[in-house]
Amino acid sequence: MKKADTIWMNGKLIPWDEANVHVLTHTLHYGNGVFEGTRAYKTDKGLAIFRLRDHTKRLLNSAKITMIKSPYTLEELENAQIELLQKNSFESNVYIRPLIYLGYGIMGLYHVKAPVEVAIAAWEWGSYLGDDGLENGIRVKISSFARNSVKSTMGKAKAVANYLNSQMAKFEALESGYEEALLLDDEGFIAEGSGECFFIVRDGKIITPPNDNSLESITQATVIELAQKLGYTVEHRRITRDEVYIADEAFFTGTAAEVTPVREVDARIIGEGKRGPVTEHLQKEYFDVVYGRNKDFEHYLTYI
């Protein structure tokens, strides 16, 4: 991670190394906090945040779900992210991490009297799963950890606590020699990656699981909208693990992952064992969108 000059905390820009919290910060002990992952791209017109409003809305929705009252409005949080990028000297693409968390003041499980804090950090960050992964695809392991059940947690919130599940799945995959994990839901159907949504391609159709057991992904929605505009048939339905094994293509989507091909799952080669033509087409078109080269989608960009 490359340091920036400042981090926005509770309405002020703080030097990067001084943006600290108390050891008794409530979220640190009990896991109730929410965050976002947003990207800004160096376009021909300068740095532009991709789908700023949608990401900020989801941040506030996550806070509502987890019973945290944000001290800042949608517009204030949007302006804070813009200000942060304006005041730092970024030379390449940027990842933005807003965080609403419960600070120092009380202990115990009843959280509503804990002070609510907000921090927004941003740093230059390249491809999450590697440039080689974007071009040649990655190897994926279906995890022994099931995606958090809707009967026991709230998956529509991008909540801090939900990501212990993802960390354990990711660790298991890497320790087993793979590059990413794919989680099933508690009924055995494909849910999502450790931090990405999942797609397969069969007989020219693009298929992605419903969001019953996954985050409502902004990148997934973008890719679906883009694919339909390009004339592809998109199906939102359940996928079994064995259907993944016989897919013609597979890929992950996410703010960090962007559009990353999957070349192998559980030692089964997917398609030709490389980025497939549909994936490559969607990947190219997606990058045209986020870099401002597709005028039909330019309304998703907030130029800095």
Residues near 132 by Cβ (< 8 Å), separated by ≥ 6? Answer: none
CA 142 to CA 49: how far, in whole Å? 33
Residue 247's alpha-carbon distances to 56, 112, 195, 240, 259, in angstroms, are 35, 47, 21, 11, 17
Residue 281's alpha-carbon distances to 14, 193, 288, in angstroms, are 42, 22, 11
Residue at token pair 């597709």: 294
Annotation says 158 is catalytic:
yes
Please tell me which residue in 42, 64, 69, 158 is annotated as part of the active site: 158
CA 71 to CA 251: how far, in whole Å? 38
Residues near 89 by Cβ (< 8 Å), separated by ≥ 6? Answer: 5
Residues near 225 by Cβ (< 8 Å), separated by ≥ 6? Answer: none
CA 72 to CA 94: how far, in whole Å? 23
Say how many C-beta atoms besides its own lie within 10 A of residue 147's C-beta: 26
Catalytic positions, written as ranges:
158
